[in-house]
Chain A
Amino acid sequence: MIRIDSVTKRYPDGTVAVDRLSLEIPDRSITVLVGPSGCGKTTTLRMINRMVEPTEGSILLDGEDIQRRPVTALRRSMGYVIQNAGLFQHRTIVDNIATVPRMLGWGKQRARERAAELMQRVGLDTSLARRYPYQLSGGQQQRVGVARALAADPPVLLMDEPFSAVDPVVRKGLQDELLRIQEELGKTIVFVTHDIDEAIKLGTMVAVLREGGRLAQYAPPAELLSAPADGFVEDFLGADRGIRRLSFFDSAALELTTDSVVPADATADRIAAAPDPYLLVTDADGRPLGWAERDGQAGGDLAAERLLPYGRPFVPGADSLRVALDCAVLSPTGWAVAVDDGGRVTGVVSQQTIGEAIRAAHTERAAHTERSAHTGSRTHPRKDEAGVAE
Chain B
Amino acid sequence: MNVLNFVNAFFSDSAHWHGYDGIPQRFWEHVQYSLLALAVAAAIGLPVGLLTGHTGRGGNALALIANAARALPSFGLLVLAVLLIGFGLLPVMIPLVVLAVPPILVTTYEAVRSVDPSPVDAARGMGMRESRILFQVELPVALPLVLSGLRSAAIQIVSTATIAAYVSLGGLGRYIVDGLYQRDYEKVVGGATLVAVLALLTLAVFWAAGRLAVSPGVRRR
Contact = CB atoms under 8 A, between A and B. Distances in A.
Contacts of B141: 88-90
A80 interface: yes
B126 A80 contact: yes
Nearest to A151: B126
A288 to B, nearest CB: 50
B125 A103 contact: no
Nearest to A77: B127
Interface in B61-116: 116
Contact of B122 (A86, A92, A134): A86
A89 B218 contact: yes
The 7 closest A-B pairs by CB, nearest first: A132-B217, A86-B122, A75-B127, A80-B125, A90-B215, A86-B118, A76-B127
A89 B123 CA distance: 12
B126 A91 contact: no
Contacts of A71: 127
Main secondary structure of the interface of B (DSSP, over half): helix
A73 B127 contact: yes
Given A88-B119, A88-B137, A82 B125 contact: yes
B18 interface: no
Nearest to B119: A86
B124 interface: yes
Given A89-B218, A90-B140, A132-B217, A72 B125 contact: no
Contacts, number: 81
A103 B128 contact: yes
B217 A72 contact: no
A89 B125 contact: no
A71 B217 CA distance: 30
A80 B122 contact: yes
A83 B118 CA distance: 8
B88 to A, nearest CB: 43
What range describes how many residues of B lie at the interface? Answer: 20 to 34
Interface residues of A, number: 32
Interface string A82-113: 11111111111000000110010000000000
Given A46-B125, A72-B128, 12 more contacts: A73-B127, A74-B127, A82-B125, A83-B118, A85-B118, A86-B118, A86-B122, A88-B217, A89-B140, A89-B218, A91-B217, A103-B127
A331 interface: no
B86 to A, nearest CB: 48
A73 B217 CA distance: 29
A149 B140 CA distance: 21
Given A82-B121, A83-B118, A89 B126 contact: no
A50 to B, nearest CB: 10
B34 to A, nearest CB: 29
B77 to A, nearest CB: 39
Interface centre among A71, A82, A88 (most CB of B within 10 A): A88
B57 interface: no
A149 B118 CA distance: 14
Interface string A43-80: 00010010100000000000000000001111110011
